[in-house]
Amino acid sequence: MTEPRYGIYARAFLGLMGRDARVLRRDFTPFLLRTLMNPLLFVFVFAYVFPRIGQGISGAGHSQTFATVLVPGLVAVGMVFQGIAAVALPLVHEIGRTHEIEDRLMAPLPIQGVALEKVAFAATQSVIAALVVFPLVYFIPATHVAVRIAQPWLLAVVLVLGGLVSGAFGLVIGASFRPQQVPLIFSIIVIPTTFLGCVYYPWSSLGPIRWLQVAVLLNPLVYLSEGLRAALTPDVPHMPLLAILGALVVVLVLLATAGVRAFLRRTLS
């Protein structure tokens, strides 16, 4: 009896996931270093060194310590960085230099499925990154970190949606840039995304700069930071939950659609 078409697609999809998992196990040390270095430096300097030397940073207009405000943002940064690193940088070289992408395209799976597999595996890495980063940003700060997971379901939903958004964001970047443009990824995308992603301050604290508060809504990291803030530090001001979850879903659909189209354009050209 002939196997149903969607059964073949599912086995091919899982086969690609398994192949990527083997590569990740082999390169797990670089994965950890890539995931930990940036959040570790930020939390060490801002939440450990500054309080120790008496250099204070206010809690963005409310009673919580800066470390409490920082925790969700740095977990979000770790997820987004991992999503970009897991998809964008390898994909730029697979398409533009090594042409390894041609091996993947030979799998019995629609090309769109190959692109979505990259998003799914990057999402898995992003969630792992969140789980790895969280203990660091919780235990290293010299001041008290008020973390309270009042709604575990919310944390799970935000992690899954945030991981998928991070992977889709990486797909858009990886399918849109060429190898010689890699430095631009960091200078015009990664750095502005981080500093304007409500990592170091809640979105509500931008109220006095209304134009900026509206402009940063185009940044996917804002919704992930605010979502993790609602899930991990609910006493810190954050966007309404419906706005956060709705925005994450909309951003995911937009980025995934744009990423798949860019992937098709690059691989079929």
Residue 36: pLDDT band by 50, 70, 90 thresholds? confident
Average confidence score pLDDT of the chain: 83
Coil vs helix vs strand at 241: helix
pLDDT tens track for 154-212:
999 999 999 999 999 999 988 887 777 777 777 788 888 888 999 888 999 999 999 99
Half-sphere exposure for 57 (CA within 13 Å, toward CB): 20
Question: What is the Cα–Cα distance from 196 to 201, expressed in whole angstroms?
Answer: 10
**Sequence spans of domains, the chain:** 5-268
Answer yes or no: is pLDDT of 61 > 50.
no
Quote the tokens at residue 240. Answer: 């309404």
pTM of the entire predicted model? 0.86
- Termini Cα distance of the chain: 37
Q: What is the pLDDT of residue 218?
A: 93
Helix/strand/coil percentages in the chain, nearest 5: 75, 0, 25
pLDDT tens track for 94-137:
776 666 677 777 777 788 888 888 899 899 989 988 888 888 77
Cβ pair 171, 86 in contact under 8 A: no
